[in-house]
Amino acid sequence: MSDRARTVLFFVSAAAVAAVLIEGISGLSPFGVHQSAYAAMLLRVAVLERHVLNVATAVNFDYRGFDTLGEEFILFTSIAGVLMIFSELRGGKTFYPEPMDEPGDRGRTAAIRLFATGLAAFVAAMGMNVALHTSITPGGGFQGGAIFGSAVVCIYLGAGYAALDRTAKKSLLDFLEALGGAAFALIGVATAFVSGVFLKNSLPLGAAGSIPSGGTIFAINAAVFLEVGCGFALLLLLYLHQTCKTEEEQR
Amino acid sequence: MSGALLYLPYAVAVWLFLAGAYGLVRSRHLVHSVLCLAVVQSSTYVLLLSIGFLAKAGAPIFNPPQVPSGSRSVDPVVQALTLTDIVVGATVTALLLAMTIQIHRRKGTVDPHALRLTRG
Amino acid sequence: MSLLEIIAFLAVAVLGAAVVATRRPLNQVVVFGLFGASMALLFFVLQAPDVALSQIAVGSLAIPALLLVTLMKTSDKI
């Protein structure tokens, strides 16, 4: 099909899709006018029932915990896919360039190295902080894990890939990521044993406003932080590994 | 006029969806098409959060003394759905980019028009 | 609808179109970073701080890093 024919076909079908969407959206209430019944009910009971101040977290890990389990498995599968694709290197050992030897590199000054590596520690701590305060402020395992994984990029920028390879081991990150995913599923199985319902909140709830509140919400949040944090770190590590030349390319 | 303006968020969601689809159709570089796909995904986030919004209401996070009586806060369910979706969408994008690198290794090109199943 | 909400929605729409319209992938990475920032602003305006945190963490660091490495590996020059 030629370019022009494809574009014409697109515009025709886009018009049809737009018509259907507009028809469906006109049935929605205007922006910001009504609140859904499910939301009203949840807001009324969530803080009292779960002792958690962040209702979005309670929804994520308790009321809709099963959906979050499914999303976690999507994340795990995607990272496994990236691992498989990158596991075949083109022949020979990897050649790690020293920071000052890379072609076109104007050299990392001492200030950059100091600042970037310090920043990496701060970013990792910030990620853990965000994940820990899930029950009382905006935060949670997903956000904290994404922030935590980004510390890998800070180390790479400050010290180069050779230093990064010494700091972060792929096998350890892989193991911890799988452990996090398994922990979420095992918490569900354990709650099924204890209370007869998969992922029902069976731990003591704690005081609303303290960090370890919410029962299984806190435990599941820790498992999700482990998986997402180590998953993102592993992902970035695999990609940054691709910036090194193999021995063949070096010659 | 104000009545029509209240449907602006939904119009933005539809616009993003169709613009991203147009970019996908006319793309000449696989990385460009991956980013257009990300724009299409963003349209769903905008739609979800717009449905859950309540005017003059706050975020679904409360302080202990003011236990909520069920009103004046935006919908927490759509927020929970969207925030997991953003993170998981990023890893799926990573998978697509890894496949792009692999395609470049095997075929030497990332132009979707040059990659056909019927050729080599 | 307040003026801030209108501006946030329009910024998202314009930057989304800009991401699609930018042809060269390297320029598109920068525009995509801007688009992500405008989305985070929109999420804040819509009273969703959790979602905005996710968007900032993912759209400002992880995704551009992945994109830059991909562009490095798929350009024929290096």
Helix ranges (H only) for A26-169 are: 37-50, 55-58, 65-86, 110-132, 141-149, 151-167
Instruction: Look up residue A50 and give its amino acid.
Output: R
A204-246 pLDDT, tens digit per residue, is 887 777 888 888 899 999 999 999 999 999 999 999 888 876 6
A79: chain B residues, CB-CB within 8 Å: 91, 94
Instruction: Kindly report the nearest CA distance between residue B66 and chain A, in angstroms.
Output: 10
Cα A172 to Cα C51: distance, rounded to the nearest angstrom: 29
The fraction of chain A above a pLDDT of 70, given in percent, is 89
- List C residues 29-58 in contact with A (Cβ-Cβ < 8 A): 48-50, 53-54, 57-58
C49: chain A residues, CB-CB within 8 Å: 138
Q: Report the greatest alpha carbon distance in chain A.
A: 67
Residue A163 has pLDDT above 90, yes or no: no
Give B101-110 contacts, CB < 8 A, sequence gap 24+.
Answer: B101/A85, B101/A242, B101/C70, B101/C73, B101/C74, B102/A85, B103/B30, B104/C73, B104/C74, B105/A90, B110/B29, B110/B30, B110/B31, B110/C74
B52-77 pLDDT, tens digit per residue, is 898 888 888 887 666 655 458 889 99
Secondary structure of residue C47 in the 3-state scheme: coil
B80: chain A residues, CB-CB within 8 Å: 56-57, 59-60, 64, 68
- Decide which of B82 and A214 is more confident: B82
Interface with C, mutate which of A52, A239, A246 (most C CBs under 10 A): A239
Instruction: Kindly report the nearest CA distance between residue B59 and chain A, in angstroms.
Output: 9
Look at residue C78 in the predicted model and tell me its pLDDT.
Answer: 44
Structure tokens at B74: 């935006």
Cα A219 to Cα B93: distance, rounded to the nearest angstrom: 28
Q: Please say whether the beta carbons of B82 and B49 come within 8 A.
A: yes
CB pairs under 8 A between B and C: 122
Domain count along chain B = 1
Averaged pLDDT for residues B81-93: 94
Model confidence, pTM: 0.90
CB pairs under 8 A between A and B: 160
Look at residue A103 in the predicted model and tell me its pLDDT.
Answer: 45
Q: Would you call C31 exposed, middle or buried from its count of C-beta atoms within 10 A (0-12, 13-18, 19+)?
A: middle
Mean pLDDT check: name the lowest of A94-103, A161-170, B1-10, B76-85.
A94-103
- Decide which of A185 and A201 is more confident: A185
Structure tokens at A218: 């806190």
Eight-class DSSP state of A94: E
ipTM: 0.91
B114: chain A residues, CB-CB within 8 Å: none
Task: Considering only CA atoms, give the Rg of chain B.
Answer: 20
Q: Do B80 and A82 touch (CB under 8 A)?
A: no
Cα C78 to Cα C67: distance, rounded to the nearest angstrom: 16
Q: Do C66 and B94 touch (CB under 8 A)?
A: yes
Cα A232 to Cα A148: distance, rounded to the nearest angstrom: 8
- List A residues 54-113 in contact with B (Cβ-Cβ < 8 A): 54-60, 63-64, 67-68, 71, 74-75, 78-79, 81-82, 85-86, 90
Secondary structure of residue B117 in the 3-state scheme: coil
Cα B62 to Cα B40: distance, rounded to the nearest angstrom: 33
Domain count along chain A = 1
Q: Which helix (H) or strand (E) holds A246?
A: strand A245-246
Structure tokens at A108: 């990392």
Residue A91 has pLDDT above 50, yes or no: no
- Decide which of A93 and A65 is more confident: A65
Domain of residue B11, CATH code: 1.10.287.3510
Residue A71 has pLDDT above 90, yes or no: yes
Q: Do C51 and B83 touch (CB under 8 A)?
A: yes
Binned at pLDDT 50, 70 and 90, residue A196 comes out as confident
Domain extent for A170: 53-250
Look at residue A180 in the predicted model and tell me its pLDDT.
Answer: 93
Q: Do B53 and A32 touch (CB under 8 A)?
A: yes
Cα B75 to Cα A46: distance, rounded to the nearest angstrom: 12
In a domain, B113, yes or no: no
Residue A106 has pLDDT above 80, yes or no: no
In a domain, A69, yes or no: yes
B71/A contact by beta carbon, under 8 A = yes
Helix and strand element counts for chain A (H, E): 10, 2
Q: Which residues contact A219 (CB under 8 A, 6 or more apart)?
A: A187, A203
C62: chain A residues, CB-CB within 8 Å: 146, 149-150, 153, 232, 235-236
A21-36 pLDDT, tens digit per residue, is 989 888 888 888 888 8
Binned at pLDDT 50, 70 and 90, residue C67 comes out as very high
Binned at pLDDT 50, 70 and 90, residue A135 comes out as confident
> CB-side exposure of A83: number of CA atoms within 13 Å?
17
Q: Please say whether the beta carbons of A50 and A215 come within 8 A.
A: yes
Q: Mean pLDDT for chain A? A: 85
- Decide which of A206 and B11 is more confident: B11
Task: Kindly identify which residue of chain C lies nearest to residue A153, measuring between CA atoms.
Answer: C65
Residue C77 has pLDDT above 60, yes or no: no
Look at residue C52 in the predicted model and tell me its pLDDT.
Answer: 94
In a domain, A44, yes or no: no
Instruction: Kindly report the nearest CA distance between residue B51 and chain A, in angstroms.
Output: 7
